[in-house]
Structure 1
Amino acid sequence: MAYDAEGTRRRIFEAAAVEFAEHGLAGARVDRIATAARANKQAIYLYYGSKEKLFAAIVRAKLEEVRVSVFVDPDAVAESVGQMFDWYREHPELIRLLLWEALEARDEPGGSERGLRDAFREKACRLVDAGVARHLPEDARVRAAQDLLFTIMGLIAWNFAVPRTCRAVLDEETDQAALDRRRETVIATARRLATDPGGRVSAGGSVRP
């Protein structure tokens, strides 16, 4: 049977994502990644160069997933935010990886971050084109839309960053009960945040002039 280089690379990536989410960069072990990926350690270094570069590659890929998943439709704010909440709920490893990166990785903006900035600016511009923050001066509208996007992302992500605190503050017995409750609250809050004097949001989440 021919060696499946792409399959090996994919298994390494998937195993490493789990390992880094659980243990962070410093605590992750290349031998555990190799065992879980059914690959040898040499393959990891061949494809990714080092543990640090493998971690960076995974974080970049996960941030790209965030970019794709984050979309607030100004005509359906509630539906968009609910879908984003569900996406984060289905990908719990994402928040852990981003928290580990904040704690352990050096903050050195590069080409990948510039690409993300451009992509999120485009999303903000779409909100502006749809009428978000129309009461503000033109040069302030994009910044307001950017703030709205990041605030909504924070409203969603924090629930998964501190699940025990979420459960305790809400006085719920299970994570599921707490998250079900938070989902409705986050949707309602996002709907209110998207409302401004120039474009009011209806109960169904649509923006009206």
Structure 2
Amino acid sequence: MAYDAEDTRRRIFDAAAAEFAEHGLAGARVDRIATVARANKQAIYLYYGSKEKLFAAILRAKLEEVHVCVAVDPDAVGESVGQLFDWYQEHPELIRLLLWEALEASGEPDESERERRDGFREKACRLVDGGMARHLPEATRVRAAQDLLFTFMGLIAWNFAVPRMCRMILDEETDQAALARRRETVIEAARALATAAGRRHGEVSE
């Protein structure tokens, strides 16, 4: 059978995503990734350069995936936030990767961070183009949309970052019951925030 480079890259990517989500960057082991991926360590370094670059590539790809799959529609904020909540629930590895990055990153901006910053800025600009924050002066609209976008993400992500606390505070017997309650609450909170942001100019979001 001929060597399939793309299939090897995919296996490495999938194995590394699981390894990093479980152990973080410092605790991840390239030999374990190679074993699970049925690839040799040299292939990992050939395709990705280093363990750090592999982690950055995976996190960048996961964030791009959610960006592509879910867009925040300024005319349907509640529905969009509900879809984003569902995406995070179906892909718990992203929250774990982001938490590991927060714990282990050096704090100095790198090329990956600059690319992600540009992606988030583009998303905020699309919200502004769709009418969000149009009651504000033009020079401040993107900043307002960025703040609102990050608030939405925080409302969603915290539920999956601390599922046990979520279950205990809500006094539910299972994570599923707690998350079902939280999904509705997060949607209503997002609608209220979007409505408050647009009230001064007569905007209505859902």
Normalised to the residue count of structure 1, the TM-score between the two structures is 0.89
In 2: Cα distance, 1:111 partner to 1:41 partner: 24
In structure 2, distance between residues paired with 1:19 and 1:112: 20
Deviations 1:12-55, CA, capped at 9 Å, x for gaps: 11001001000111111222111111112222222222222221
Q: How many percent identity over aligned positions?
A: 82
Aligned-residue offset at 1:200:
4.1
Q: Aligned equivalents of 1:180 and 1:200: distance in 2? A: 29
Q: 1:109-162 CA deviation, whole Å, 9 max, x = no partner? A: 234333333332232223223332233222222211111111001101111111
Q: Give the SS at the match of 1:194.
A: helix
Whether contact under 8 Å (1:170, 1:178) holds in the other structure is yes
- Is 1:128 aligned with 2:128? yes
Label 1:142 to 1:170 Cα distance change in 2 as closer, same or farther (>3 A): same
Check the 8 A contact 1:78/1:188 in 2, yes or no: yes
Residue pair 1:134, 1:141 contacting (<8 A) in 2 also: yes
The number of residues matched between the two structures is 203
**Aligned pairs for 1:154-173 within 5 A:** 154-173=154-173
- After superposition, the CA RMSD in angstroms is 1.7
| CA distance 1:121–1:51, change in 2 (3 Å) | closer
| CA–CA separation in structure 2 for the residues paired with 1:153 and 1:78 | 13
Residue 93 of structure 1 corresponds to: 93
Calculate the TM-score normalised by the size of structure 2.
0.91
Determine if contact 1:19/1:28 at 8 Å carries over to the other structure: yes
Q: Which runs of 5+ in 1 are unaligned?
A: none
**Which structure shows the bigger proportion of residues in helix conformation?**
2
Tell me which residue corresponds to 1:189: 189
